[in-house]
Amino acid sequence: MATNNNNINNIITTNKHKLKIVSKEQSLPELDSVKKEKKASKINHCSQDLPADWQWMKLDLFDKQTNTGDARHKINISVCKKHQIRNFRALLNSPWTHFRRNLTAQEWSSPHYELVRHTRQALRNAGYRATDIWVSKCYLPGYKQGKGDTVKDLSVIKINERQDHRYTVIVIANDHKMIVPLKGDKGYLTERQRQHGVIATGTANTILKTSVGVRLDDVL
């Protein structure tokens, strides 16, 4: 079974968007005991080809009762587009056969859901077990943290990796795929995050496509 994001990236390269992942880990200086308690000592983020006008995307995986397994998993997706943040959520507790619920035949045959089906099947063909792959539509946060409206054409696939506290999440927005590795081992989460049920986190920043600034030879 594949166990890293490079392998997953090789598995799902059939869509027009080539995924580029540059993992970046760094330690933060611990200036004093107060900051040490409030901040994680490590940052988990990668660089990717995000959709137009997206600056970054942050994923937090929750399990309110971490010993109960995948049936309790929920993911929060924060997207910064045009410097405004929108939040989406997905429940990762239903079998694959439930994914099509509340979709019309026309919606199910659309490019987005065809891409979701193809991606999941590619993972299965690569050796991932069905019990390691969880797929869900996303929804808007509702009243008092409840479930709001379903967001069509935004789906997530969560893959349980062999290494403890490691997951891979594929976010599919329209026909655009993004892979974000999530980490929850020591140093990546604050005590407050753990108290709120966060078990892994990860952030994707957009790949810089155009040069910014001026060259030294042009001004000196």
Residue 159 lies in a domain: yes
Residue 213 lies in a domain: no
* pLDDT tens over the chain, length 220 residues: 555 566 666 655 544 343 333 444 444 344 343 344 567 767 777 878 899 889 999 999 998 664 544 447 899 999 999 999 999 999 998 899 999 999 999 999 999 999 999 999 999 999 999 999 999 999 998 766 668 899 999 999 999 988 888 899 999 999 999 999 998 877 778 888 888 888 999 999 887 666 667 878 888 7
Residue 35 lies in a domain: no
Nearest to 85, CA basis, from 124, 58, 65:
58
Cβ atoms within 10 Å, residue 111: 11
Residue 168 lies in a domain: yes
Residue 30 lies in a domain: no
Residue 60 lies in a domain: yes
Summarize pLDDT for 55-83 with one digit per residue, the tens.
999 999 998 664 544 447 899 999 999 99
pLDDT confidence of residue 28:
38
Q: Determine the Cα–Cα distance for residues 183 and 165; give it in Å rounded to an integer.
A: 6
Distance of CA 180 to the CA centre of its chain: 5
* Number of domains the chain is built from: 1
Range of the domain at 165: 5-25+42-208
Residue 31 lies in a domain: no
Residue 37 lies in a domain: no
pTM above 0.85, yes or no: no
pLDDT confidence of residue 86:
95
